[in-house]
């Protein structure tokens, strides 16, 4: 029920939003009193009655917030300053000015809150892309039920042109899906039996039957929405600093206003004039635009990223995107497709089938892309893996297991050198394969090397253009990989990457990240699971292709739902845009304070003029902040 109400509120017209509705009503009453009095239709003394009605009506929402903040948190907020200014105007008999202050401040606060609400809730519009009904197969018949009633394990049918109600695995049928609601990627993806599919994906030409793997409230789309909303609540470093500053600044403004009231008693000046200056100072020095300048830009930027399939876990990470100086890439699965294939087999005894059978037996328990490629090659060639037991992963080096009573290894040449094997008979062959950009995996027992396999991955087409864009943006690029140096350097040269660090184990990747971070903000891009330690050590960790992978979404500060490097470029542009807009807002807000405060202290501006300037600056800061989400990327 709350969810539907929030979605309805996010779509309602601004003038129907309760704080704005009250402000508009109060403004109409105040203007009516002003007009009637100046037309001579009511007595000037009766004019105040209209203002007395307008003030509590227009101030109801923000006065309540100010009192709650003062009582519960013991903090003097901006609302308290405005309340004091309103009371001051009333005591001076300036009821028209008091009404103007209440109405204009209430309207500005209402517009700000409404804009902020829409920026935070816009991501919930994605829920509308998921159907409210699903055709579930029960007892051999299609039964239409509410999508919220779907449970994991149930089968449901999706016809051409329909959207998926929840996540699942295709049981039967082939089709192409538009997964842009989840990944932000508009290109259709071919899907068939056994493939993962996501809620709100739009089905193409084929009819498919899907086994639900998540309830409606737990599907990938719902997770994205919850993560984005949580992220929009989190504060960046700059925002937290401004809020700490505001908690000290507002009480100082209130104290300064009280001191102005004491000047007539000390200097024998006119009390009324200094009382007016005190009231004007309360309004002029209130840091409304400054306090709202960052959160609105952060919320808009995070929301816009979420709608593009880029999950940014908080304002601090969006700030880091805008300030990144170095980006470190994993190679396999990040700069390359992560789907290598076996290109060469060499067994000194000539029995390549036996070599492949042993290699597949060793690698079949591993999830590494190279291991999967070896197992896939064995299956394609009809080679059955031999029996193996006692598997143990050698992190960053290979794997070992027991075959026929002997301990066997599969891994990099460096692993076999460390184990004391003589690789001289194979050195020329290994070098030639590596210089050709291939990754070499050796297989052998504790006495000898039984042979080698060479595998090759393909570079992503978008990788080179991304690196060129990064260089144009002044960002340094580094490759951190466990692959051999020759292969890594060949890939790096073809892409124009600035620095290569190869043959790294996970702890060495972490050490490299720490070293790079010493010279400035560093972004680490990997798969979110295998590179989790390095991602966690970087200033900001980015997981590639995280759609449907809970571990990847949880591991990184930023998750790119699509397996597309172009999304990283979009994320960087959004970060820089949000940072630029935030800076503009902060500078603008400080300039407004620098102008209005001296005018107030000098008595050169009336309450109404200061209020108009103050609220106009706040609304300009809000409008500019929203640009972080509306403006095009690039």
Residue 343: the pLDDT is: 92
Q: What is the pLDDT of residue 23?
A: 84
Where does 473-606 have alpha helices with state H? Answer: 485-495, 506-517, 532-537, 550-555, 566-602
Q: Which of 167, 330, 557, 564 is catalytic?
A: 330
Whether residue 9 has pLDDT greater than 60: no
Name the class of domain 341-456: alpha beta
Can you read off the two tokens belonging to residue 542? 């980015």
pLDDT at residue 1 above 50? Answer: no
What was the pLDDT predicted at 43? 80
CA distance 362 to 388: 7
SS (H, E, C) 424-463: HHHHHHHHHHHHCCCEEEEEEECCCEEEEEEEECCECHHH
Backbone dihedral angles phi then psi of residue 437, each to the nearest 5 degrees:
85, 20
* Helical packing angle, 78-91 and 237-267, nearest 10°: 20
Q: What percent of the chain has pLDDT over 90?
A: 19
Q: How confident is the model at residue 7 (pLDDT cuts 50, 70, 90)?
A: very low
236 neighbors 209 (Cβ within 8 angstroms) = no
pLDDT at 468: 93
Q: Rounded to an integer, what distance in angstroms lies between the CA atom of residue 549 and that of residue 183?
A: 12
Report the 10 Å Cβ neighbour count for 42.
Answer: 16
Query: Phi-psi bin for 523: left (phi > 0), alpha (psi -120 to 50), beta?
Result: beta
Distance CA 363, CA 441 (A): 11
Can you give the pLDDT at residue 2?
A: 39
- Per-residue confidence (pLDDT) for residue 495, from 0 to 100: 92
Determine the pLDDT at residue 446.
87
Task: Using pLDDT thresholds of 50, 70 and 90, give the confidence band for residue 630.
Answer: low
User: What are 106-149's pLDDT values in tens digits?
Assistant: 888 887 777 777 766 667 667 777 788 888 988 878 888 888 88
pLDDT confidence tier of residue 469, bands split at 50, 70 and 90: very high
Mean pLDDT of the chain: 84
- Residue 79: which of 57, 111, 106, 42 has the closest Cα? 106
Supply the pLDDT for residue 16.
66
pLDDT at 496 over 90: yes
* pLDDT of 44: 73
Interval 508-532 mean pLDDT: 84
Q: Burial-class residue 428 by CB neighbours within 10 Å (0-12, 13-18, 19+).
A: exposed
By C-alpha distance, which of 317, 328, 243, 227 is closest to 578? 317
Q: What is the mean pLDDT of residues 91-96?
A: 86
Of the pLDDT bands very low, low, confident and very high (cuts 50, 70, 90), residue 548 is low
Residue with tokens 């503009």, as numbered in its chain: 584
CATH of region 131-218: 2.70.150.10
Mean pLDDT of 480-496: 87
Check residue 395 and give its pLDDT.
Answer: 65
Output the pLDDT for position 632: 55
Both structure tokens of 429: 């062959």
Question: Per residue in 185-199, pLDDT tens?
Answer: 767 888 889 888 888
Residues in Cβ contact with 618 at an 8 Å cutoff, skipping those fewer than 6 apart: 108, 112, 288, 289, 292
Q: Flag the least confident range among 112-126, 270-284, 295-309, 568-582.
A: 112-126
- What is the mean predicted confidence (pLDDT) over 415-428? 89
Mean pLDDT within 381-396: 82
Contact (Cβ atoms closer than 8 angstroms) between residue 309 and residue 180: yes
The 10 Å CB-count burial string (b at 16+, else e) for 112-138 is: bbbbbebbbbbbbebbebbbeebbbbe
d(Cα 237, Cα 513) in Å, to the nearest integer? 22
Predicted local distance difference test score (pLDDT) of residue 369: 80
Q: Is 60 exceeded by the pLDDT of residue 429? A: yes
- The whole-number pLDDT of residue 152 equals 92
pLDDT score at 528: 59
In percent, the amount of the chain with pLDDT more than 70 equals 92
Neighbour count for residue 28 (Cβ, 10 Å) = 14
Three-class SS state of 575: helix
- How does pLDDT run across 600-622, given as a tens digit for each residue? 888 787 888 888 888 888 888 88
Better pLDDT: 571 or 122: 571
pLDDT tens for residues 29-85? Answer: 989 988 888 888 878 778 889 999 999 998 888 888 888 888 887 877 788 888 888
Q: How far apart are CA 166 and CA 337, in angstroms?
A: 27
Where residue 514 falls (left for φ over 0; alpha for ψ -120 to 50; beta otherwise) is alpha
Report residue 454's pLDDT band, with 50, 70 and 90 as the boundaries.
Answer: very high
d(CA 288, CA 301) in angstroms, rounded, equals 20
State the Cα–Cα distance between residues 245 and 227, nearest whole angstrom.
28
How many angstroms from the chain centroid is the CA of residue 626? 16
Angle CA 186–188–191, to nearest 5: 140
Specify the pLDDT at position 355. Answer: 92
Q: Would you say residue 481 has pLDDT above 70?
A: yes
Q: What DSSP line would sit under 211-277, residue for residue?
A: EE-S-GGGSHHHHHHHHHHHHHHSPPHHHHHHHHHHHHHHHHHHHHHHHHHHHHHHH---HHHHHHH
Predicted confidence (pLDDT) at residue 589 exceeds the cutoff of 70: yes
Q: How far apart are CA 101 and CA 19, in angstroms?
A: 15
What is the pTM for the complete model shown? 0.75
Q: Please state, in angstroms and rounded to a whole number, the distance separating the CA atoms of residues 61 and 57.
A: 9
Domain ranges of the chain: 2-123+228-301+575-630, 131-218, 341-456
C-alpha–C-alpha distance, residues 304 and 634, integer Å: 13
Whether residue 218 lies in the annotated active site: no
Contacts of 377 (CB under 8 A, 6+ apart): 341, 342, 356, 360, 453
Note whether 476 and 498 are within 8 A (CB): yes
Owner of token pair 């997981």: 543
pLDDT in tens, 152-210: 999 999 998 888 988 999 999 998 888 877 787 767 888 889 888 888 888 888 889 99
The listed range with the strongest mean pLDDT (265-269, 424-428, 611-615) is 424-428
Q: Sheet of 202-203: strands edge to edge?
A: 189-191, 175-178, 202-203
H/E segment holding residue 113: helix 95-121
The DSSP bridge pattern shows strands 202-203 and 406-411 to be unpaired
Confidence of residue 4 (pLDDT cuts 50, 70, 90): very low
Position with higher pLDDT, 231 vs 622:
622
Do the Cβ atoms of 221 and 206 come closer than 8 Å?
no
476, pLDDT greater than 90: yes
CA 110 to CA 16: how far, in whole Å? 11
| Separation between Cα atoms, residue 187 and residue 130, nearest integer Å | 19
Q: What is the pLDDT of residue 392?
A: 82
pLDDT(357) > 80: yes
Confidence tier at 100 by pLDDT (50, 70, 90) = confident
Nearest to 550 by CA among 170, 188, 128, 196: 196
Task: Please list the residues that pair with 328 across neighbouring strands.
Answer: 478, 524
């Amino acid at each position: 029920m709350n969810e539907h109400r929030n979605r309805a509120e996010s779509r309602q017209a601004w003038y129907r939003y309760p704080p704005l509705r009250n402000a508009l009503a109060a403004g109409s009453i105040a203007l009516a009193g002003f007009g009637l009095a100046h037309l001579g239709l009511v007595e000037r003394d009766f004019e105040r009655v209209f203002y007395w009605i307008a003030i509590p009506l227009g101030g109801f929402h923000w006065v309540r917030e100010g009192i709650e903040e003062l009582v519960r948190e013991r903090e003097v907020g901006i609302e308290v300053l405005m309340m004091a200014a309103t009371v001051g105007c009333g005591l001076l008999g300036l009821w028209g000015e008091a009404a103007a202050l209440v109405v204009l401040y209430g309207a500005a606060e209402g517009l700000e809150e409404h804009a902020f609400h829409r920026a935070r809730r816009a991501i919930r519009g994605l829920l509308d892309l998921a159907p409210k009904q699903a055709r579930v197969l029960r007892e051999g018949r299609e039964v239409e039920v509410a999508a919220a009633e779907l449970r994991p394990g149930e089968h449901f049918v999706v016809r051409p042109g329909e959207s998926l109600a929840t996540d699942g695995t295709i049981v039967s049928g082939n089709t192409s899906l538009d997964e842009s609601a989840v990944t932000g990627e508009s290109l259709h993806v071919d899907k068939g039996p056994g493939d993962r599919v996501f809620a709100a994906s739009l089905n193409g030409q084929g009819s498919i039957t899907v086994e639900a793997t998540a309830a409606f409230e737990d599907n990938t789309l719902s997770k994205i929405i919850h993560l984005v909303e949580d992220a929009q609540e989190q504060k960046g470093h700059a925002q937290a600093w401004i809020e700490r500053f505001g908690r000290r600044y507002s009480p100082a403004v209130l104290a300064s206003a009280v001191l102005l009231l004491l000047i007539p008693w000390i200097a024998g000046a006119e009390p009324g004039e200094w009382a007016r200056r005190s009231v004007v100072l309360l309004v002029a020095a209130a840091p409304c635009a400054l306090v709202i300048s960052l959160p609105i830009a952060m919320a808009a930027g995070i929301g816009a990223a979420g709608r593009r399939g880029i999950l940014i876990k908080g304002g601090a990470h969006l700030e880091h995107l805008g300030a990144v100086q170095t980006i470190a890439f994993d190679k396999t699965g990040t700069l390359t497709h992560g789907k290598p294939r076996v290109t060469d087999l060499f067994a000194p005894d000539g029995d390549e089938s036996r070599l492949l059978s042993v290699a597949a037996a060793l690698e079949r328990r591993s999830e590494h892309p190279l291991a999967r490629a070896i197992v896939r090659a064995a299956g394609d060639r009809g080679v059955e893996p031999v029996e193996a037991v006692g598997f143990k992963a050698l992190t960053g080096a290979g794997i070992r297991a027991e075959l026929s009573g002997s301990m066997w290894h599969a891994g990099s040449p460096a692993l076999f050198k460390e184990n004391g094997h003589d690789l001289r008979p194979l050195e020329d062959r290994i070098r030639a394969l590596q210089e050709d950009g291939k990754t070499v995996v050796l297989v052998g027992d504790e006495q000898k090397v039984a042979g080698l396999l060479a595998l090759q991955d393909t570079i992503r087409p978008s990788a080179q253009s991304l690196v060129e864009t990064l260089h144009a943006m002044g960002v340094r690029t580094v490759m951190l990989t466990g692959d051999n140096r020759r292969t890594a350097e060949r890939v790096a040269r073809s892409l124009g990457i600035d620095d290569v660090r190869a043959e790294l184990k996970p702890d060495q990747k972490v050490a490299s990240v720490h070293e790079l971070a010493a010279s400035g903000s560093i972004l680490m891009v990997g798969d979110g699971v295998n590179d989790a330690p390095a991602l966690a050590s970087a200033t900001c960790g980015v997981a590639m292709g995280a759609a449907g992978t809970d571990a990847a979404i949880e591991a990184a500060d930023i998750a790119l739902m699509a397996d597309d490097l172009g999304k990283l470029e979009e994320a960087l542009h959004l970060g820089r845009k949000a940072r630029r807009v935030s800076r503009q807002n902060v500078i603008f807000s400080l300039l407004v304070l620098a102008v209005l405060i001296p005018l107030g202290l000098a008595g050169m501006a009336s309450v109404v003029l200061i209020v108009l300037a103050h609220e106009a600056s706040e609304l300009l800061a809000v409008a500019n902040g929203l640009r972080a989400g509306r403006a095009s990327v690039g």
